[in-house]
């Protein structure tokens, strides 16, 4: 898989764009997902709902979904949308290895949430992919606890500005089985993607997740089928 | 349930549908390979005297001969056989209980068929041969009254070898395998009914009520594209 590199020397894994092998097929699948999301936006416009889907939460039931978030953000960026990818999965820092830029002491979402000075821009890193920047979980991810406290993350969804306008914001959330972060943030996003692993996720668990997200005010765009997490 | 759904269920748990019949097939083969050996003795028994009473449909001799199988499977007969086995290596491994457990008999008209069955063919044959020698004395000792004219016991067939009865082996093998196949399919269906996991996008739509708008699983390796298609994309 061809990594996307940031000027800081970090690597951000995403679907390759060179048209070779399985990675090309995977990239096409994310492009198709992007088209489905944008199609859902067009469909909702007729009933007076928001004209576009700008912020999307990506949440799994009992597994991390960082790879899905990365792929979707990459697909948005390739579609000429100025995209910000936020790793808000602070409960399982292990997943942020996929989008944490290499290098020492990289601050991210956790440091920004802990910073008492409001209005300070967060540290979003550019990547090798045009139109795509990333806000990693941060080194202090495990000390933050609840990333939704104070409403700062919710505000980030509606006004994700760091000096640059954003067309799309993709937020990777902690699994619903581990934390209620996604439920607290769902109503602030334009849409929620529920990620399911065929052969592992039960219908009962998926139904409970659906009901919880809807009760929290989330607008479920649909379900994305994903592979089981690597052991 | 549509046929297609049934096939999907069977395919998903093919190891049950295929594995169970394979296990049963192998087990039946092993079982038939371990089938015991049987030595058979056939004898005709003639009760002396005119036992037919004019105008009477009953045949007293046959009523007496009804006791033939009971005699053969009795401990007394087993003792007689065990005594006559001698002192050879085969005899040393057999006691009266072994002989008793090995013997079975059936009667048809005046013909008595005795079977000696053991896992060891030599033991079965040894018992069968002694049965053929002992049978006349046993019949006259137990089925004919003392002082009466003795019965005639003619041995029709003395055992020359002990064989395995594999006449229905193929039929049993096929029937048991087919039954196991049906049982495997039934178990697969039962497992599917108890399995709440989602497997396909149709499962998500039907059971969760949400649309599947993306499938980002890593695609399986497919056949290579033809050159003209690769050329077009280039």
> Which of B207, B209, B213 best probes binding to A when mutated, by most A CB atoms within 10 angstroms?
B213
User: Rounded CA gap, B61 and B67, in Å?
Assistant: 10
Residue B129 forms part of a structural domain: yes
CB-CB under 8 Å, A199 with B215: no
**Interface contact flag, B213 A222, Cβ < 8 Å:** yes
pLDDT at A6 over 60: no
Confidence of residue A15 (pLDDT cuts 50, 70, 90): very low
pLDDT band at A154 (very low <50, low <70, confident <90, very high): confident
Out of A32, A193, A201, closest to residue B197 by CB: A201
CB contact under 8 A, B214 and A22: no
Q: What percent of chain B has pLDDT over 70?
A: 87
CATH code for position A121: 3.40.50.300
Residue B49 falls inside a structural domain: yes
Q: Which residues of chain A are within 8 Å of residue B218 when distances are taken between CB atoms? A: 22, 25-26, 227
CB contact under 8 A, B212 and A225: yes
Q: Which two structure tokens, joined as six digits, stand for A163?
A: 């000096």
Query: Residue A156: what pLDDT?
Result: 76
In a domain, A18, yes or no: no
Smallest Cα distance from A57 to chain B, Å: 14
Put simply, whether B11 touches A (Cβ < 8 Å) is no
Residue B39: inside a domain:
yes
pLDDT computed for residue A35 by the predictor: 92
Asked if B197 and A40 come within 8 Å (Cβ–Cβ), the reply is no
Host domain of residue B49: 35-157
H or E element at residue B116: strand B111-118
Q: What residues in B contact A201, CB-CB < 8 Å?
A: 197-198
Q: Does any domain span residue A20?
A: no
Q: What is the mean pLDDT of residues B44-60?
A: 67
Taking the alpha carbons of B8, B14, B20, B21 in that order, is the dihedral positive or negative? positive
Tokens of A202: 């039960």
Q: Is the pLDDT of residue A11 over 70?
A: no
Q: What is the mean pLDDT of residues B55-80?
A: 82
Give how far Cα A86 sits from Cα of A60, A188, B36, Å. 15, 14, 75
Position with higher pLDDT, A93 vs A7: A93
**Is residue A106 situated within a structural domain?**
yes
Count of structural domains within chain A: 1
B191 Cβ under 8 Å from any chain A Cβ? no
Q: What pLDDT was estimated at residue A214?
A: 95
Q: What is the pLDDT of residues B170-204, one digit of tens each?
A: 888 899 999 999 999 999 989 988 989 999 888 99
Kindly state whether residue A118 falls inside one of the protein's structural domains. yes
Residue B67 confidence (pLDDT) above 80: yes
How many residue contacts between A and B have a Cβ separation below 8 Å?
Answer: 96
Task: Band the pLDDT of B218: cuts 50, 70, 90.
Answer: confident
Q: How many domains does chain B divide into?
A: 1
Residues in chain B with CB shorter than 8 Å from the CB of A67 are 216
pLDDT reported for residue B52 = 59
- pLDDT of A50: 58
Partner residue opposite A223 with nearest CB, options B199, B210, B217: B210
Contact between chains at A25 and B219 (C-beta distance less than 8 A): yes
Look at residue A135 in the predicted model and tell me its pLDDT.
Answer: 85
In chain B, which residue's Cα lies nearest the Cα of A35? Answer: B213
The residue of chain B with its CA nearest to that of A37 is B213
CB proximity B171 to A under 8 Å: no
For residue B207, the chain A residues in CB contact (below 8 A) are 203, 206-207
Residue predicted with more confidence, B6 or B37: B37
pLDDT tier at B228, thresholds 50, 70, 90: very low
* Burial call B77-114: b when 16+ CB within 10 Å, e when fewer: bbebbbeebeeeebbeebebebbbebbebebeebebbb
Mean of pLDDT over chain B:
85
- Is there a domain that residue B194 lies in? no
Q: How confident is the model at residue B233 (pLDDT cuts 50, 70, 90)?
A: very low
Answer whether residue B145 is part of any domain: yes
- Reply yes or no on whether the pLDDT at A22 is more than 90: no
Q: Which pLDDT belongs to residue A151?
A: 78
Cβ distance of A22 and B218 shorter than 8 Å: yes
Q: Is the pLDDT of residue A1 over 50?
A: no
Residue A9, pLDDT score: 31
pLDDT at B168 over 90: no
Output the 3-class SS for B127-195. Answer: HHHHHHHHHHHHHHHHCCCCCCCCCEEEEEECCCCCECCCCCHHHHHHHHHHHHHHHHHHHHHHHHHHC
Chain B residue with the nearest C-alpha to that of A28? B216
Q: Pick the residue with more confidence: B56 or A188?
A: A188
pLDDT category, B167, cuts 50, 70, 90?
A: confident
pLDDT given at position A122: 67
For range A6-22, the mean pLDDT: 39
- A19, A198, A220 member nearest B199 (Cβ): A198
Categorize the per-residue pLDDT at A5 as very low, low, confident or very high, splitting at 50, 70 and 90.
very low
Between B153 and A166, name the one with better pLDDT.
B153
Identify whether B176 is part of a domain: no
Which pLDDT score, from 0 to 100, does residue A196 have? 95
Contact between B139 and B71 (Cβ < 8 Å): yes
Contact A36 B197 (CB under 8 A): no
Q: How confident is the model at residue A41 (pLDDT cuts 50, 70, 90)?
A: low
**Residue range of the domain that includes A187:** 50-225
Would residue A1 count as lying in a domain? no
Q: What percent of chain A has pLDDT over 70?
A: 69
Task: Answer whether residue B184 is part of any domain.
Answer: no
Contact between A223 and A194 under an 8 Å Cβ cutoff? The reply is yes
Residue of B nearest to A196 (CA): B198
Nearest to B190 by CA among B182, B199, B198: B182
B208 inside 8 A of chain A by CB: yes
pLDDT over 70 at B122, yes or no: yes
| Mean pLDDT of all residues belonging to chain A | 77
Q: Is the ipTM of this complex over 0.85?
A: no
Of the given ranges (A169-178, B70-79, B157-166, B215-224), which has the lowest mean pLDDT? B215-224
């Amino acid at each position: 898989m061809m990594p996307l590199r940031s000027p800081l020397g970090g690597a951000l894994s995403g679907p390759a764009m060179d048209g070779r092998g399985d990675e090309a097929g995977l990239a096409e699948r994310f492009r198709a997902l992007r088209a489905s999301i944008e199609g859902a936006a067009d469909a909702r416009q007729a009933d007076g709902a928001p004209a576009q889907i700008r912020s999307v939460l990506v949440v799994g039931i009992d597994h991390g979904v960082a790879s899905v978030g990365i792929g979707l953000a990459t697909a948005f960026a390739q579609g000429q949308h100025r995209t910000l990818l936020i790793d808000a999965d602070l409960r399982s820092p292990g997943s942020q290895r996929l989008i944490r830029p290499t290098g020492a002491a990289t601050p991210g979402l956790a440091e920004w949430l802990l910073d008492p000075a409001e209005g300070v821009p967060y540290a979003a890193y550019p990547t090798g992919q045009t139109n795509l920047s990333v806000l990693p979980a941060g080194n202090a991810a495990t000390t933050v606890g609840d990333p939704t406290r104070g409403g700062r993350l919710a505000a980030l969804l509606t006004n994700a500005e760091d000096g640059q306008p954003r067309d799309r914001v993709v937020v990777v959330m902690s699994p619903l089985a581990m934390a209620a972060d996604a439920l607290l943030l769902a109503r602030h996003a334009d849409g929620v993607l529920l990620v399911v692993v065929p052969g592992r996720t039960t219908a009962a668990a998926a139904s409970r997740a659906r009901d919880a997200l809807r009760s929290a005010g989330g607008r479920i765009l649909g379900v994305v089928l994903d592979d089981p997490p690597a052991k | 349930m549509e046929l297609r759904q049934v096939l999907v269920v069977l395919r998903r748990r093919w190891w049950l549908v295929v594995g169970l019949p394979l296990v049963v097939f192998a087990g039946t083969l092993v079982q038939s390979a371990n089938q015991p050996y049987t030595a058979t003795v056939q004898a005709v028994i003639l009760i002396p005297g005119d036992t037919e009473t004019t105008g009477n449909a009953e045949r007293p001799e046959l009523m007496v001969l009804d006791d033939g199988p009971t005699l053969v499977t009795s401990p007394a007969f087993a003792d007689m056989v065990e005594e006559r086995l001698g002192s050879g290596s085969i005899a040393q491994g057999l006691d009266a209980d072994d002989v008793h457990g090995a013997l079975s008999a059936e009667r048809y008209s005046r013909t008595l068929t005795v079977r000696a069955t053991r896992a060891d063919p030599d033991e079965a044959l040894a018992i069968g041969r002694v049965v053929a020698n002992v049978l006349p004395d046993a019949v006259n000792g137990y089925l004919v009254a003392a002082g009466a004219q003795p019965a005639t016991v003619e041995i029709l067939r003395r055992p020359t070898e002990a064989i395995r009865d594999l006449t229905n082996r193929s039929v049993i093998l096929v029937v048991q395998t087919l039954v196991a196949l049906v049982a495997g399919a039934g178990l697969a269906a039962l497992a599917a009914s108890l399995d709440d996991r989602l497997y396909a996008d149709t499962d998500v739509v039907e059971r969760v009520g949400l649309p599947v708008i993306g499938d980002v699983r890593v695609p399986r390796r497919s056949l290579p594209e033809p050159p003209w298609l690769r050329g077009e994309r280039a």
